[in-house]
Amino acid sequence: MLAHRQQKLAIVLFIIFGSALAIGLVLFALKEGINVFYTPTEISAGEVGQGQSFRVGGMVKMGSLVKEGLEGAEVNFLATDFCNDVLVSYTGPLPDLFREGQGVVADGSLDNAGTFKATQILAKHDENYMSAEVKASLDAAESASIEVCHQ
C-alpha cells in the first residue's frame, strides 16, 4: 500500500516538476527567441529601442547597394517601404537571390547611429521557396507602405 502511494506521489511530483520546468523554459524562451517584424516607417517613428533585436522588412532601394570600398565583407543598403528608409549594414555573403528592387528581410538590431546591424539577411526566394514568415513579412512591408504612403 505504502509503495503504491509512494509511486503515485512520485509520478505526481515528476509531472509537476516537468510542467513547471517546461512552462518556465517556454516563457523564458519566448521572450528570447521571438522576433517581431517592423517596417522602416515604424522604425523611423522610434517604435523600436536601441539594442532590441527584431526583424525589418522592405524593398532594397534601387541604387542604394554599396559593396565596394567598405571594411572586409561589409555591405550597406537601404531597406525601404517607399515612405521611409532604414540603412542596413551586414557583413558576409549576400543570399543568391538578393537584388536591388526586390524584397528583403533582415534580422538584427539598431546601433547608436540608428543603423540596422543585420545578423542575417533573407532575400526573396523564387516564389516556390520562400519561408512563410519571410513572405508574411514582405507582404506586410508592401501593404504597410501602401497604407502609409498612398493615403
Partner 1 sequence: MIPELGNFSLVLALSLAFLLSVLPMVGVYRNNQMLMTLSRPLCSGIWVFMVISFACLAWAFLHDDFSVAYVARNSNTLLPWYYKFTAVWGGHEGSLLLWVLMVASWTYAVSLFSRNLPLDILARVLAVMGIISVCFLIFMLLTSNPFDRLMLNTPAEGTDLNPLLQDFGLIVHPPFLYMGYVGFSVAYAFAITALLTGKLDAAWARWTRPWTNIAWAFLSIGIALGSWWAYYELGWGGWWFWDPVENVAFMPWLVGTALIHSLAVTEKRGVFKSWTVLLAIAAFSLSLLGTFIVRSGLLTSVHAFAVDPERGLVLLTILLLVIGASLFLYALRAPVVKGNASYTATSREVFLLINNILLVVATAGILLGTLYPLIHAAINGEDQPVSVGAPYFNTIFLPLMGILVAFLTVGSISRWKKTSLAYLKQQLVKVAVASVALGVLVPLIVTREVNIGIFVAVTLAFWIVMGIARDIQVKTSNKESLLQGLKSLSLSYYGMQIAHFGMAVIILGICLTSHYSVERDVRLAPGESIEIGSYEFIFEGVSPIQGPNYTADAGEITVLKNGKSYLTLTPEKRTYRATGSVQTEADIDVGFFRDLFAALGDPRGDGAWVVRIHMKPFVFWIWLGAFLMAAGGFTAILDKRYRVKEVKAEKEQVTQANTEIDAAPDLAGETG
Binding residues vs partner 1 (CB under 8 A): 3-4, 6-7, 9-11, 14-15, 18-19, 21-22, 25-26, 28-30, 32-37, 55, 67-68, 72-73, 91-94, 96-98, 107, 126, 128-133, 135-137, 139-140, 143-144
Report the distance separating Cα 86 and Cα 67, nearest Å: 17
Query: Closest CB to partner 1 among 35 and 115?
Result: 35
Least gap, CB of 58 to partner 1 (angstroms): 14
Minimum Å gap between C-beta 67 and partner 1 is: 5
Question: For partner 1, which is the closer residue by CB, 55 or 61?
Answer: 55
Helix (H, G, I), strand (E, B) or coil at 76: strand
CB of 114 to partner 1, least distance (A): 22
Q: How far is C-alpha 79 from the geometric centre of its chain's CA atoms? A: 13
Residue closer to partner 1, measured from CB, 32 or 46? 32
**Buried residues in 54-85 as b, exposed as e (16+ CB within 10 A):** bbbbbbbbeebbeeeeeeeeebebbbbbbbbb
With respect to partner 1, which residue has the nearer C-beta, 11 or 62?
11
Q: How far apart are CA 58 and CA 128, in angstroms?
A: 20
Hey, CA dihedral for 79, 50, 121, 70, is it positive or negative? positive
Minimum separation from the CB atom of position 130 to partner 1 (A): 7
| Least Å from the CB of residue 62 to partner 1 | 18
Q: Grid coordinates 561589409 are at which residue?
A: 74
